[in-house]
Amino acid sequence: MLQEIPSGLCFILSGILFTIGAIGAIIRRNVIVVFMCIELMLNAVNLVFIAAANALSSMDGSVFVFFIMTVAAVEAAVGLAIFVMVFRLQNTVNAYEVHLLKG
Amino acid sequence: MDMVSFKGIIFIIAALIAVAASVLMATRKNPIHSALWMIVTFFAMAVIYLLLNAQFIAVAQVMVYAGAIMMLILFVIMMVQMEKGGKGDPGETGRSAKTKVAGALITVILFGEMLFGALYYQMTGRSGDYPVAMVNSVGNVRTIGSLLYGQYLFPFEIASILLLVGIVGAVVIAKRKE
């Protein structure tokens, strides 16, 4: 029958996705791929919100995820604009070659 | 039907696709391939949201993430044409390989803690006012809509202002200075 998904499984899946995103953000050098890994981490958090809201029969999880999506969209727009600007100035988007602040 | 239900099978398939696609996303050399695998991950997670009775969020996931954000990322990848391999790829890795390994190890330890927490966590929260049967009889989108335009009206308006600021900020940052 159509029984519910246990929320523990969703938490574990979310932890796996978050870890993959975090490790990707640490080891990759291309800032756009790092950015996508950060989006993946945000998605993992969304999954926890939805799973917990479903288990607690609450609607607030969906509302929170809505706001997280809004923030992620704004972050994408501004962050990608910054990447385009950095590429124009430095001709690279490699995170290790952009070190103007090092002096 | 005894061990795993139909929903369980779909969940396991979607979870495996999501994990595999995200690993591929994090490891591909070509950023375009990374972006395409990311879209696969987002679709798999939309399926999981559907299984968790969050239809509105599933649709928003496909529209906002897989549609808008990944389209933006793909356009930026095409504008910012990557150097074709070579050029600083070898040698550059040796400089901070130890730091990377240390960071990855710490992250794996963190994952172990998360796993421990997920396995032994007993959910003690008070049950909310929206059981699945009641929400499904009204409609998921309708319930979220009345919440967004009622109880959460002020945060909703702030989110719209945030979007406006994001649009203006992106244009101002990316504008070519004459």
List chain B residues with CB under 8 Å of A20.
19, 22-23, 26
Give the residue-averaged pLDDT of A56-71: 91
The DSSP result for chain B, as a single string, is --SS-HHHHHHHHHHHHHHHHHHHHHH-SSHHHHHHHHHHHHHHHHHHHHHTT-HHHHHHIIIIIIIIIHHHHHHHHHHSPPP-S-TTSTTHHHHTHHHHHHHHHHHHHHHHHHHHHHHH----PPP-S--HHHHHHH-HHHHHHHHHTTTTHHHHHHHHHHHHHHHHHHHHHHSPP-
B125 φ, ψ (degrees, to nearest 5) = -65, 155
Residue with more model confidence, B91 or B38: B38
List chain B residues with CB under 8 Å of A58.
127-130
Domain-ending residue, one of B35, B54, B82: B82
For residue A4, the model assigns a pLDDT of 76
With contact defined as beta carbons under 8 Å apart, do A33 and A24 qualify? yes
Q: How confident is the model at residue A98 (pLDDT cuts 50, 70, 90)?
A: confident
The length of chain A is: 103
The residues spanned by each domain of chain A are 7-102
Residue with more model confidence, B126 or B87: B126
For residue A13, the model assigns a pLDDT of 93
- The A residues from 46 to 85 touching B (CB cutoff 8 Å) are 46-47, 50-63, 65-67, 69-78, 80-85
Give the residue-averaged pLDDT of B101-123: 88
Question: Do B123 and A56 lie within an 8 Å CB cutoff?
Answer: yes
Chain B residue with minimal CA distance to A56?
B127
Give the residue-averaged pLDDT of A11-38: 92
- The A residues from 28 to 47 touching B (CB cutoff 8 Å) are 28-30, 32-33, 35-37, 39-40, 43, 46-47
Domain assignment present for residue B39? The answer is yes
Where in the sequence is the domain holding B77, given as residue range(s)?
A: 1-82
Measured distance CA(A2)–CA(B89) in Å, rounded: 51
Give the residue-averaged pLDDT of B119-124: 82
Gap from B21 CA to chain A (nearest CA, Å): 10
Gap from A42 CA to chain B (nearest CA, Å): 11
Residue B18 has pLDDT above 70, yes or no: yes
Give the residue-averaged pLDDT of B20-36: 92
Domain-ending residue, one of B82, B99, B123: B82
Residue A42 has pLDDT above 50, yes or no: yes
Measured distance CA(B142)–CA(B139) in Å, rounded: 5
Task: Please name the amino acid found at residue B70.
Answer: M
Domain assignment present for residue B96? The answer is no
Residue B92 has pLDDT above 60, yes or no: no
For residue B88, the model assigns a pLDDT of 45
Q: How confident is the model at residue B135 (pLDDT cuts 50, 70, 90)?
A: confident
Residue A94 has pLDDT above 90, yes or no: no
Residue with more model confidence, B125 or A71: A71
Give the residue-averaged pLDDT of B36-53: 94
For residue B82, the model assigns a pLDDT of 63
Chain B residue with minimal CA distance to A94?
B82
Gap from A39 CA to chain B (nearest CA, Å): 9
Measured distance CA(A79)–CA(A31) in Å, rounded: 10
For residue B97, the model assigns a pLDDT of 80
Residue with more model confidence, B95 or B31: B31
For residue A1, the model assigns a pLDDT of 45
Q: Same domain for B147 and B75?
A: no
For residue A16, the model assigns a pLDDT of 94
Interface test with A, best of B3, B7, B22 (most A CBs within 10 A): B22
Domain count, chain B: 2
Any idea which architecture A7-102 has in CATH?
A: Orthogonal Bundle (1.10)
With contact defined as beta carbons under 8 Å apart, do B124 and A32 qualify? no
Long-range Cβ contacts of B118-124 (<8 Å, 24+ apart): B118/A8, B118/A11, B118/A12, B118/A15, B119/A8, B119/A12, B121/A8, B121/A11, B123/A7, B123/A52, B123/A55, B123/A56
Q: Same domain for B1 and B77?
A: yes
Gap from A99 CA to chain B (nearest CA, Å): 14
A101 touches chain B (CB under 8 A): no
Domain assignment present for residue B163? The answer is yes
Measured distance CA(A4)–CA(A50) in Å, rounded: 13
Residue B41 has pLDDT above 50, yes or no: yes
A22 touches chain B (CB under 8 A): yes
Measured distance CA(A98)–CA(B1) in Å, rounded: 56
Q: How confident is the model at residue B2 (pLDDT cuts 50, 70, 90)?
A: low
Domain assignment present for residue B102? The answer is no
Question: Do A19 and B107 lie within an 8 Å CB cutoff?
Answer: yes
Residue A71 has pLDDT above 90, yes or no: yes
Question: Do B26 and A43 lie within an 8 Å CB cutoff?
Answer: no
B82 φ, ψ (degrees, to nearest 5) = -75, 150
Q: What percent of chain B has pLDDT over 70?
A: 89
Q: Which region among A53-57, B3-7, B133-137 has the lowest average model confidence (pLDDT)?
A: B3-7
ipTM for the whole complex: 0.90
